[in-house]
Structure 1
Amino acid sequence: MFQHILVAIAFDEEKDPERALQVAAKLADGPTRVTVLHVKDEVPSYAIAYMPEDYDLGLKQAIYDQLSVLAKRFENGRAVLIEGHSGRTILDWAEKNDVDCIVLNSHKPNITDYFLGGTATVVVRHAKCSVHVIR
């Protein structure tokens, strides 16, 4: 079925990663590679100056550790943590890494989504592969 599934994880209360992981497990077949990915927003330079020196490194390690635990659920799973704008970064990573299905959660839209669009909207509109959106 799919050769490489990307599960985009957002660590917030509304987007429980469990459902996305369950869908990916159902879509994965045998040797399917599953990448559990999180896009971390870059800390603005004006803000990082007020944080402890090792803050960003510690945060990255904590997120990566969580991703690694989730990726271990899959026979061919791996964790990836990258920085950038979530929608565009997911799309770029998927294209560069031959992903043929992206699984991600969506949130309940609010007024800002009608003007700017959410991550799921950007991914669905511009992905060059299948996209499975969890509602």
Structure 2
Amino acid sequence: MYSNILVPIALDNEDDRTAQALDIAKSLSAEGATITLLHVVEAMPSYAISYISADILSATRKGIETELARLAAEIGANSVVISGHSGRSILDYAEEQGSDLIVIASHRPGMQTLLLGSTATHVVRHANCSVHVLR
């Protein structure tokens, strides 16, 4: 059983995968464990950011924070939204917080994933703690 579990959440249309990841985190947690839901906001390319107003960016981030907090409240977890590169930011956060398990969902690999890699692959390769990958 684990006492400090990190669950990176990609807020896309895969609600069942999110629910599965949360169920896994709860089932692998020790009594009194801390579960943290983490969402990483990737930096937008400079050529695109000039077309989006600061108000829209702020409202989008607030929406992400609200949704993540709602998911966290359902299971008694913490929620955190940070900015950066997904794979590296997840690893850095897990290291800083002393996470002993990362529960991460992975997409089925396609050609792009094989060429560029995925966030889950990066986390598995470089994590200093246990990683449970949901496929």
Shift of 1:46: 2.6
- Amino acid in structure 2 at the alignment position of 1:85: H
- Give the TM-score normalised by structure 2: 0.92
The TM-score normalised by the length of structure 1 is: 0.92
SS at match of 1:72: helix
Larger helix share, 1 or 2: 2
Match of 1:95 in 2: 95
Aligned residues of 1:4 and 1:32 also touching (Cα < 8 A): yes
- Per the TM alignment, residue 14 of structure 1 is displaced from its structure 2 partner at its CA by 4.4
Counterpart in 2 of 1:13? 13
Q: Secondary structure at the match of 1:114?
A: helix
| C-alpha distance after superposition, 1:67-110 (max 9, x if no partner) | 101111333x1100011111111011100110000001010101
AA paired with 2:107? H
| Cα pair 1:95 1:128 within 8 Å, conserved | yes
In structure 1, the residue matched to 2:71 is 70
CA offset digits 1:35-93 (Å, max 9, x no partner): 00011111223322211231111111100101101111333x11000111111110111
Give the gaps of 5 or more residues in structure 1.
Answer: none
Instruction: Calculate percent identity across the aligned residue pairs.
Output: 46
- The 8 Å contact of residues 14 and 107 in structure 1, kept in 2 or not, is answered as no
> For 1:114-125, what aligned pairs fall within 5 Å after superposition?
114-125=114-125
Alpha-carbon separation, structure 1, partners of 2:54 and 2:7? 31
Deviates most, 22-31 or 101-110: 22-31
User: Over aligned residues, Cα RMSD in angstroms?
Assistant: 1.4
Find the aligned partners of 1:12 and 1:70 in 2 and give their Cα distance. Answer: 13
Moved over 4 A (4+): none
How many residues are paired up?
A: 134
| Residue identity matched to 1:115 | L
For residues 31-110 of structure 1, what are the structure 2 equivalents within 5 Å?
31-75=32-76, 77-110=77-110
